Structure 1
Amino acid sequence: MIITLLMVGLVLTGGFAWFSEEKKAGSAKLIALLSLLFFSVCFITFVMAASTEFAQLQQLTKVTWIAVFNIHYQLALDHLSIMLLLLTFLLSIIAVLISWREITYRRGFYYFNLLLTVAGIIGVFTAVDMFLFFFFWEVMLLPMTALIAIWGHENRRFAAIKFFIFTQVSSLLMLIAIILMAYLHLQQTGSLSFSYQDWLKLELPQELASYLMLGFFIAFAVKLPSFPVHSWLPDAHTQAPTAGSVLLAGVLLKTGAYGLIRFVIVLFPQASQEFAPIAAILALISILYGAKMAFAQSDFKRLVAYSSISHMGFVMLALFSFNVNAFHGAVITLVAHGLSSAALFAFAGMLYARIHSRDLAKMGGFWQSAPVMGGFGLAFCAAAFGLPGMANFVGEFFSLIGAFQRFPVITILAALGIIGSAIYGVVLFQSSFHGAVKQQFIDLSIRERIIATSLLAFLLIIGVFPNVILQFTFNGGG
């Protein structure tokens, strides 16, 4: 019941923030922040106080929703979903803090859409009725499209439409696969079922399983994103408001990886094994292509966006290596990339607020007037290219060790992507904080220091003590 209360609470407080902004300017952001803090504490308290062991999926709620089709409002939690929900709450709070001064018009509606996006993400990470999962998948899409289209930058409408079309078309393929799976359950048992647990008991013809697996795989590969269905990402990231970029990179991309783990690999194990070489090649292309394109960018946000394609390629390579170490690396990389990419997009927003440009050619010498920002910027660039001691290093190290056992040649080539990330990371930092002084501005405010410090602290903690994630996620087979 706690998950339902969280989602309903976020929608209601979002509506209240929208209404209150019309009565008193500036109230919406405070309501959004306090509600996220409150619901985060509620969720953490629930997890810590629960007597249930979440090593396996534990059903929390099951209520009949559409009886004629045997569709239920069914939610469950395990270690993987708990970890991703904690990441969601953290980055959602960061998103509100980043928006504090950036959003200057239609603020009430903005925070309503932001909180509605978070509610949809929570539903995606907890739904185990597949029709309900698809419902939350769509709920997550619509307000994020609105965030880009209304509060984005100069080409925001094009980016929002492209994001919507890519996600919507791939989602329809997943919907077809969901309906076919329910029909197969009807054929084999005599009753329709959209329940994930019921589907695990199905005996699927191998050829049909391959096609069904592709329906899910394409939808999640688009969201990950993976080459060749990645082109929506640089435009969406570049044009989105800063908080939109943080949620996109930090959480929405992780829903694609979550779908691969929870549904593709588990529901279709044999088909996934047969598809693994193709997935590994796509992952390799994503890694190298993303790194090459990141190096070629002059736009701060676009560079970080292409780097996300490269880093998420490591996740796909690790997942389809079917190796314990690789799987550990994939999950740590999910969290690490969520934190480091959110930090870099936050810094892009902070710089844009000061110089009103994302062009690296107009940056340079910022360290002289903003040494604190420069220090944090250096740390986050180092985290992104996998400096030992940071969470990203642990994730990519585990991923490559595990993947090497299955795809040695592909893994050796993929390791070149780490070299590429070091190159574009250094270029990004050097272009903005070193060189001739082109502009001077005020260093980080207290609010911005809180954002930077919290993200860096988590990156360091996970980098030095990776068992914080590994034990939480995999204790008992999680």
Structure 2
Amino acid sequence: MSFPLLTIITFAPLLGALVVLLLPKDNERGIKNWSVLISLVPLALSVFLWFAYANTSGGYQFQEVHSWIPQLGASYHMGVDGLSVPLIFLTALLTTLGLYYSSFTIKRRVKEFFLLFLLLEMGMFGVFVSLDYVLFYVFWEIGLVPMYFLIAIWGQPKDRPQYAAIKFFIYTLIGSVAMLLAILGVYFVTGTFDIVEAAKAKPFANDIFLGSLAFWAFFLGFAIKVPSFPFHTWLPDAHTAAPTAGSVILAGVLLKLGAYGFLRIVLPTLPNAFKAWSLVIVALGVISIIYGAFVCMAQWDLKRLIAYSSVSHMGYVMLGIGAAAFGVGATEQATINSQAMAINGAALQMFNHGIITGGLFFLVGIIYERAHTRELKKFGGLSAKLPYFYGIMLVTAFASLGLPGLAGFWSEFLVFRGAFDLVKVYAAVGVLGIVITAAYILWKIVQFMFLGDYDPHKVDHWTNLTTGQEEHDPSDMALFEKVTMWPLIAFMVLFGVYPTPLLNFFNRAANELLQRLM
């Protein structure tokens, strides 16, 4: 029997959650230390998986197939390919950093927080490794409940956390029900719940009407999660209300589940229907890019601004995927290359957005813990008072706007490289989003927060995180905050200078997908 690597990665957080459940409630430091420690297990194994995956061979590797519910035809089928390996690492990294950061900042109902966070990690891992529809759906739903409680219980009262949580729950549940109907439709046509086998059978290939119904049912489930315009309205409320680590995971990983669903399930399983509606998807992606960026220009709450920036940046993912779908059926090598470029850009944007926007939400939490406000008009001149924080924020913000030399540049470049060859007019319009993004990053974040003269009267009081005492002027980043941000900054620079390690995974997966579609 082969080593069950994916099972251990997926269920190690569940073991951690069970231990947290047994620990005494008043042993807060023990709960925190154990949660961070157990999160290092899937992180270490995800690093091993990164180097152990044979890119030259490609395909699904480390597969585990066992009979699960034979009466239903569902199996315990796990496996990874070039698309899922980097996303598993991203999930493990952001979860460990989120737990580490929270071990210093969460003071209330500690046991419940860390228990739910570990359960959420298990659900996210499960989605990325599942190759059976029933297993995929179970893990998809597992992540819904912990995030609901993380928002509702640990959100700031002034941000209406209960309202934001129920809105998130209802939106996601509606999408899940639609996706379940699509899964059943695929099963009735193909006779299997296996994601790989169902894709090979090409259900509804000769029935565009039923294929379109299945496509839009899947689309609703995944687009809400992305979130794509116009299904995005739950996201700003959820982000604003969520605790810092919750926002990091929501932006860094949970949004990627929807985009992953498009590449793992919808495009390979329903290519004809996807091609038929591809320009609609491309248009929604472009609208998300520009609309999200313009709304950022109108925000004065820093956290809400970054939340809307996620709508804009995930629009690049939808543009890339939609452009690739538009080229389905082409035989010209140039078109196939452009499709691969678009998919590479979309997948790379999923990873880069995770580390960049995850970092931005950590930075919002860092300033909020001191100032107890996120209103940009309350700040100004902080570059003189918080030089370390200023430097970290500059690198992260510039990566977000796509500055060459930082990670965000390559994903946007590849998306437009593919999209301009496939959907020229839409790509040309989408480029405006880059300009608007630069405007709100430089104007709202850099100028309002850091430039100009420092006015000590704008913020009522600053809290020193080391002593817990109020002080007249803000203190710079504490060591635990620096440790939280260092890995993310390192990856922004590393993959900005040398994105090849990531592209080796994504390009292999993209080419295999396109070969199957041909």
Q: TM-score, normalised by structure 1?
A: 0.96
Counterpart CA distance in 2 for 1:424 and 1:461 is 25
> Judging changes above 3 Å, is the alpha-carbon distance between structure 1 residues 356 and 19 closer, same or farther for their aligned structure 2 residues?
farther
Counterpart CA distance in 2 for 1:105 and 1:302 is 24
Return the match for 1:174 from 164, 173, 179.
179
* Cross-structure match for 1:236: 238
* Cross-structure match for 2:281: 279
Return the match for 2:309 from 294, 307, 310.
307
* Cross-structure match for 1:188: none
What is the CA distance between 1:217 and its match in structure 2?
A: 1.1
- C-alpha deviations, 1:173-230, integer Å up to 9, x for none? 0001111111112xxxxxx421112212324222211111111111111100000000
- In the TM superposition, 1:239-254 aligns within 5 A as 239-254=241-256
- C-alpha deviations, 1:244-275, integer Å up to 9, x for none? 00000000011111001111111111111111
Larger CA deviation: 419-428 vs 12-21: 12-21
Counterpart CA distance in 2 for 1:46 and 1:423 is 39
Larger CA deviation: 58-67 vs 212-221: 58-67
Return the match for 1:387 from 403, 420, 438.
403
Counterpart CA distance in 1 for 2:388 and 2:37 is 28
> Judging changes above 3 Å, is the alpha-carbon distance between structure 1 residues 228 and 49 closer, same or farther for their aligned structure 2 residues?
closer
* Cross-structure match for 1:415: 431
Return the match for 1:438 from 455, 475, 478.
455
Counterpart CA distance in 1 for 2:181 and 2:417 is 36
* Cross-structure match for 1:316: 318
| Gap runs ≥5 in structure 2 | 325-338, 457-472, 513-518
* Cross-structure match for 1:296: 298
* Cross-structure match for 1:189: none
> Contact (CA 8 Å) 1:230, 1:309: kept in 2 or not?
yes
What is the CA distance between 1:394 and its match in structure 2?
A: 0.7
* Cross-structure match for 2:463: none
Counterpart CA distance in 2 for 1:377 and 1:279 is 33
Counterpart CA distance in 2 for 1:421 and 1:21 is 47
Q: Percent identity?
A: 36
Counterpart CA distance in 2 for 1:317 and 1:336 is 16
Counterpart code for 1:267: T
Matched, 1:164 2:169: yes
Counterpart CA distance in 1 for 2:236 and 2:184 is 32
Return the match for 1:227 from 225, 229, 232.
229
Counterpart CA distance in 2 for 1:475 and 1:412 is 28
* Cross-structure match for 2:102: 99
> Judging changes above 3 Å, is the alpha-carbon distance between structure 1 residues 468 and 49 closer, same or farther for their aligned structure 2 residues?
closer
> Judging changes above 3 Å, is the alpha-carbon distance between structure 1 residues 380 and 6 closer, same or farther for their aligned structure 2 residues?
same
Counterpart CA distance in 1 for 2:251 and 2:153 is 19
Counterpart CA distance in 1 for 2:424 and 2:54 is 43
Q: TM-score, normalised by structure 2?
A: 0.88
> Contact (CA 8 Å) 2:75, 2:132: kept in 1 or not?
yes
Counterpart code for 1:392: G
TM-align CA RMSD: 1.5
- C-alpha deviations, 1:322-359, integer Å up to 9, x for none? 11111111111111111110111000000010001111
* Cross-structure match for 1:466: 499
* Cross-structure match for 2:328: none
- C-alpha deviations, 1:428-477, integer Å up to 9, x for none? 12211222313421111111112222111101111110112111332474
Return the match for 2:213 from 208, 211, 229.
211
Counterpart CA distance in 2 for 1:229 and 1:408 is 25
> Contact (CA 8 Å) 1:59, 1:74: kept in 2 or not?
no
* Cross-structure match for 1:193: 192
Return the match for 1:456 from 476, 489, 506.
489
* Cross-structure match for 2:346: 330
What is the CA distance between 1:306 and its match in structure 2?
A: 0.3
| Gap runs ≥5 in structure 1 | 186-191
Counterpart code for 2:78: L
Larger CA deviation: 292-301 vs 4-13: 4-13
Matched, 1:360 2:379: no
